[in-house]
Structure 1
Amino acid sequence: MKKAIITGGGTGLGKELGKLLSKEYHIVLLGRTKQKLEEAAIEIKQEGGDVSYAVLDVRSPLEIEQVCSTELLQNDIELLIHNAGVGYFGPLTEANDEDLETMFETNVLGPIRLTKAILPHLEKGNSTILNIISTAGLKGKKNESLYVASKFALRGFGESLQKEYEESGLRVVNAYMGGMDTPFWDGSDHISNRSRLRSPREVAEIIVEQYPSKDEIVIESKKAT
């Protein structure tokens, strides 16, 4: 069975994508927390899916190299989903270098390094790279300057790969969604009313339906009622 690799696969959108895609793929979940990966894997198995997982912090070039050298990420890879992401919000004057570095290492450098490591396998057949970017990759937003900058960078990376591989069997899809009601917002007051946001399941269903035929997916947040 072909494999679908999902970073940030232990919670939220990554876990829901894993559940839905397990109908046609062997799911490989990657994430920083073993317990969350185990819990997500159990849920996927309960729905009849095949799943494996590996602990990986995409900020670490060494961990990417180590995981990609294992058999788990060596063969039959048809779908690579860059879902792991972090965000820190507020005025630029209140941002610090640690926040900046963490966002770019997670949101940009991790996807680039992991893509490069897995490309030899993706180039072998009809494969897809799916970048989960957020609508922050489409337009600037107040108190999100550094987060937006990281998402614009991932957008540019994806669009450039689309050009680079447009004559091949490798597709690159950029997905832009508004905020979702996930643990991403825990500890942040940037979103005052999370109940108006789409659920991870709802967003996952839209992405799974559209990615086979579209190179760009835009999913706005629900509006407050």
Structure 2
Amino acid sequence: MKTFIVTGAGSGLGKDLAILLAQKGYHLLLAGRTSEKLTTTKKEIEAEGGKADIVVIDIRNPEEVIRTIEEISQTIELYGLVNNAGVGHFGPFVDIEDQQITDMLDTNVLGTILMTRSVLPHLRDGQIMNIISTAGLRGKINEVVYAASKFAIRGFTESLQKEYEDSKIKINAVYMGGMDTPFWENSDHVKDSSRFRSPREVAEIIIDQMNQDSIIIESKKS
């Protein structure tokens, strides 16, 4: 059974991607900083006959990432990685706090790079899927640092695609707009998230287009 690691698999898009990948026959490693939400995802996958395990990891910590992936690779043959974990803080640029800047760059950029660097050497073939956001395609008001982090991952992903274009490893860039998730609960940046697609809708589109280099999904429902 081929194994996918999904970061941020405890809720939102990460959870639904993990569930759909499990339905396609993959073994899931559900990664996140705490096990509570991951356990819920694991139970849902197993209730449908799928296989999943929990990996508690802080993707911002280089030593922890290297150690964890090395330990996993001793007993599991890795096939793929979905870099889904992300943090967003919104508002006028001059009002963004230092810690918020650090949170976004450490999780969105550093975490994605660290996980990818650690997983890639263990893949003979397979797939790396980077969940980027349409904020990585165009600048947006009140999303200056968030967009900067996503533009960084766009460059990272496009460069990886060129570096691995002659290999058996597929690299995807996924650009999706806002979704109707708890992501917006602590922000007034989005007034009505119900007008957005649900995480399941977005996940279904992504899984359906997994063979494409670039997947673009706008936020508004059709």
Q: TM-score, normalised by structure 1?
A: 0.95
Aligned to 1:2: 2
CA distance in 2 between counterparts of 1:11 and 1:105 reads 20
Return the offset for 1:95: 1.1
Give identity over the alignment, percent: 53
Aligned to 1:144: 143
Pair 1:221 & 2:206 matched: no
Return the offset for 1:66: 2.6
Pair 1:96 & 2:94 matched: no
Amino acid corresponding to residue 61 of structure 1 in structure 2: P
Amino acid corresponding to residue 2 of structure 2 in structure 1: K
Return the offset for 1:72: 5.7
CA distance in 2 between counterparts of 1:71 and 1:220 reads 35
Q: SS at the partner of 1:20? A: helix
Q: SS at the partner of 1:171? A: strand
- Asked if 1 retains the 8 angstrom alpha-carbon contact of 2:73 and 2:122, the reply is no
The RMSD of aligned alpha carbons is: 1.4
Pair 1:29 & 2:30 matched: yes
Counting only pairs closer than 5 Å after superposition, residues 204-215 of structure 1 correspond to structure 2 as 204-211=203-210, 213-215=211-213
**Gapped runs of 5+ residues in structure 2?**
none
Counting only pairs closer than 5 Å after superposition, residues 1-225 of structure 1 correspond to structure 2 as 1-23=1-23, 24-71=25-72, 75-122=76-123, 124=124, 126-211=125-210, 213-222=211-220
- Asked if 1 retains the 8 angstrom alpha-carbon contact of 2:16 and 2:203, the reply is yes
Return the offset for 1:30: 0.2
Q: SS at the partner of 1:22? A: helix
Q: SS at the partner of 1:17? A: helix
CA distance in 1 between counterparts of 2:36 and 2:175 reads 28
Q: TM-score, normalised by structure 2?
A: 0.96
- Asked if 1 retains the 8 angstrom alpha-carbon contact of 2:29 and 2:53, the reply is yes
